[in-house]
Amino acid sequence: MNKKIGIIGSGTVGQTLASGFIKHGFEVMIGTNSTSKYNELKKKMDDKIKIGSFDDAAKYGEIIVLATKGSASEKIIKSLQSGVLTGKTVIDATNPIADVPPVNGVVKYFTSHEESLMERLQKLVPDAHFVKSFSCIGSAFMVNPDFHGLKPSMFYCGDHEPSKSEVKLILEKFGFEPEDMGGAEAARAIEPLAMLWCIPGFRSNSWSHAFKLLKM
């Protein structure tokens, strides 16, 4: 039986993934901290999707998806009720993109090469199980994308093997070839893939692409 999904973040990524989870038979709640966004979601989202606060979604979900703006993610995690993420798988779809314009198509990150955003978040909630995923592709291609019959690769990593196994199954349902990159440190390599993914978009308005790991 599918676990309940709590999505923290009500932007395009959160809405897209919520619709994808509903499509695949999950029960879903989206959390938002905006009254106007709450009202908007009530009108536009599938009636099967529940809407609540960040805390509501964190309590509701047996699996959590963090789909907030990267620069706001640490503040949002700190704001959650104590213990609400304990023991839960947290799919981290964020990227540490700084709030400054890209330069020649290259976005700026507020993290260093020695620490990923996911590692920072994991330190804030050490008893949750963070798994980096859904962070290196555009929202339009997050749910069963069609690249002429090819399955795109989706890289994921984390320190808790049972949580990674859960995420792998979700990725397979969502039409990806899951690629396990190991422990949380690998997020230092996965997160910058979003920088590369964005360059064709900002330089030539080409956003219809994905990564594929080719193997012999």
* pLDDT tens for each residue of 140-169: 999 999 999 999 999 999 999 999 999 999
- Three-state secondary-structure class, residue 86: coil
76: Cβ contacts below 8 Å, ≥ 6 apart? 8, 33, 54, 66, 68
161 token code pair: 């093997």
| Stated pTM of the model | 0.97
Distance CA 33, CA 161 (A): 31
Q: Which residues contact 130 (CB under 8 A, 6 or more apart)?
A: 90, 92, 118, 121, 122, 158, 159, 163, 184
User: Mind listing the pLDDT tens digit for each residue in 127-137?
Assistant: 999 999 999 99
Provide mean pLDDT across the span 10-21: 97
Instruction: Answer whether residue 46 shows pLDDT above 90.
Output: no
Residue 131: what residue type?
V
> In whole numbers, what is the pLDDT of the chain averaged over residues?
97
Residue 1: what pLDDT?
Answer: 73
Complete domains list, the chain, with CATH: 5-204 (3.40.50.720)
The model's pLDDT over 195-208, given as tens digits with 9 standing for 90+, comes to: 999 999 999 999 99
CA dist., res. 172 & res. 151, Å (int): 10
